[in-house]
Structure 1
Amino acid sequence: MSPAAGAEGAEPPSRPGRKLGPITDGVNPQHRAWLEPMRARLDTSGMTASYLAERAGFSKSKVTELLRGVGLYPHWEITYALVRVLGMPVTPMCRLWAAAAREAQKKTGWIEGSIARIVVSTGPSAPPLEHHAFAKTNGARYASYADVFLRDSGETSRVVTETFDVLWLYWNEALASSHIQNYAWQVLRRGVMARAPHTDGCPDLAGAAFSTVAVDNATGLAAFTQAERTLALFRAVSELPDVQLDVIVLRHLRGMDITPVADLLGVTPAFVISTERHARRSLTTRLNLRAHPEGPHASDR
């Protein structure tokens, strides 16, 4: 029996019913941050959308629309009803819902009024102690990584807060994973990359490039030459595979030693060393190809 089914006093139907359609295109990252965990909980609960709607006291069509992100941004009333039936932590869901409502340009009065209509008297208001300790240990390092891509302190703060709220929703799964650090890192990374500006499918690191000391200290013609070289390097970095990109960012843009990087990513120090070596080779190859697109000796032909 799922936690939600026990709380509601009835077993969910054994028949799977029609498969829920995907989240609609255009749903923003903040909205997805709470919608995806809710859909995941429904998927593992054994409930159908019809059963969930019945227990929550709303029509199936309204519940299905909410679960797919269709139509207007939902009121907290229906969101909370589904959260309770699914047995999810209320506090992080409410924060995530409110953050997404602000992103959807809902007025403060609408958000606060929607929440105020629901008396929330059940569920813990603070995360598990282990989660609190994990957030305290990793929060600053997560923010340091996110700021490379977002270049905005407010956006960085929001994505880190979102990461730990989402992690709270998945805390049992995170604890059961092979390595909680790696599990949590993937949550952070998805949030960062969903918000980071991209060029040709790669995160845009131009802002980070122009903030480097080399560019700041250059003057005159040297500044243009240095900027061109720096932009080429950062463009090549942005094209690296995910784990190589992360290692290079943490090691060389954030100045972290090998062991802290390994701890943050949930891998071994040997893996970090090997990944960095491969990344350096790849960067050398990419930069040489751009400097000599027809081959290093094309002028001798």
Structure 2
Amino acid sequence: MSSAHRAWLEPMRDAYLNSGLTLSELGGRVRFAKSKISELLRGCGLYPRWEIILSLSAELRMPQWPLYRLWRQAALEAQKSKEWVERSSEKAALTILDTAAPLDHRAFRELVENDYSLYAQVFLDDDQRDTAVSDTFDILWLCWNSALASPDTRRFAWQVLRTTVMSRTPHLDGRPEFAEAAFDTVALQSLTGPTARMNQMTESMHLFKAMSRLPDHQLDVMVLRRLCGHDAEDVSDLLGVPLATVRSDERHAVHFLESVICPPPETEGNAP
């Protein structure tokens, strides 16, 4: 199952578990076989048509507009043609409206969307970045009540963003590869001359490779602090963690990076 498929399926599965309904009860309400619904909720079998998703979402009281966008995108990523997507949703799609997200969701999005985009840009190209950020807010819309009920909505939302971005980021040996970010660092943009830029790019490649080995929370702090240019207080607000935690994570990350990135060895003639 692709990450795009999980993006809408997991909130739907959670909505079903929280509904208190049995599969038999849900099947009776939407007039689909219990086995068909079980298969869908387990992510098995053929990719489902929008008709059944719409019926389930109505019974589970899920917002249909973000669900439809995520379903459609996952269908295309599952190699379904645009014609199949349109055919499988042309009747049912007419019953949903481009509705607005809850007011507090919209306010939260306005507050953090630009910062989320800066973070995603480190790992993804422009198109993938925009898709990941859009998906993040659609997923949050689907589970907004859970986000509000969590200990910290900012921390909940950040985890959704991180999961969405990392699902689209190339990985090597389990660690994200983001050397392309070297082309967008402030350090590179401020340099003039091909030699200076090439030297800085080489240094950045080594740095990013070492950064990929950091624990997730330390990596996020370093990306936000050193590549996105946020101060520690802003990072604390974005991640929903105490300022002391941000400073501790940065301190440990810098210590690790200094231990693995060694300066060029001295030539024999310069050795003492």
CA distance in 2, matches of 1:118, 1:203: 39
Cα separation, 2, equivalents of 1:209 and 1:200? 20
Instruction: Please tell me whether residue 279 in structure 1 is matched to residue 257 in structure 2.
Output: no
The alpha carbon displacement at 1:46 in A equals: 1.8
2:268 is matched with which residue? none
Q: 1:34 and 1:156 mapped to 2: Cα distance?
A: 18
2:73 matched residue in structure 1: 99
- For 2:153, which of 165, 180, 197 is the aligned residue? 180
Q: Is 1:36 the equivalent of 2:5?
A: no
Structure 1 residues 243-282: aligned runs within 5 Å: 243-282=217-256
Secondary structure at the counterpart of residue 256 of structure 1: coil
* Candidates 151, 159, 175, aligned match of 2:132: 159
1:84 & 1:223 partners in 2: Cα distance?
Answer: 55
Distance in 2, Cα, partners of 1:291 & 1:183 = 42
Contact kept in structure 2, 1:167 and 1:187, CA below 8 Å: yes
Residues of 2 paired with 1:218 and 1:54: CA distance?
Answer: 70
Report the AA paired with residue 185 of structure 1.
W
Query: Retained in 2: the 8 A contact 1:89–1:124?
Result: no
CA contact (8 A) 1:101 1:111 kept: yes
Which is worse superposed, 229-238 or 187-196?
229-238
Q: Percent identity?
A: 48
Pick from 92, 101, 118: which aligns with 2:92? Answer: 118
What is aligned with 1:88? 62
Matched-pair contact (CA < 8 Å) for 2:182–2:188: no
Greater RCO structure (CA 8 Å; 6+ sep): 2
Separation in 1, partners of 2:198, 2:93: 60
- In the alignment, the residues of structure 2 paired with residue 46 and residue 123 of structure 1 have an alpha-carbon distance, to the nearest angstrom, of 27
Q: Following the alignment from structure 1 to structure 2, what is the Cα–Cα distance between the partners of residues 108 and 130?
A: 34
Report the alpha carbon displacement of residue 105 of structure 1 after superposing the two structures with TM: 2.5
Counterpart position of 1:241? 215
Which stretch shifts more, 121-130 or 154-163?
121-130
- Does residue 201 in structure 1 map to residue 174 in structure 2? yes
- The alignment yields a C-alpha RMSD, in angstroms, of 2.4
Aligned length: 264
Distance 1:91 1:223 in 2: 45
Partner of 2:120: 146
Shift of 1:71: 2.3
Partner amino acid for 2:179? A
**Distance in 2 separating the partners of 1:248 and 1:204:** 15
What are structure 2's unaligned runs of at least 5 residues?
Answer: 266-272
Cα deviation digits, residues 213-256 of structure 1 (max 9, x gap): 44975756x77765443322111111111111001001110111
SS at match of 2:261: helix
Moved more, 263-272 or 193-202: 263-272
Deviation at 1:109, TM superposition (A): 2.8
Alpha-carbon distance in 1 for matches of 2:221, 2:72 = 33
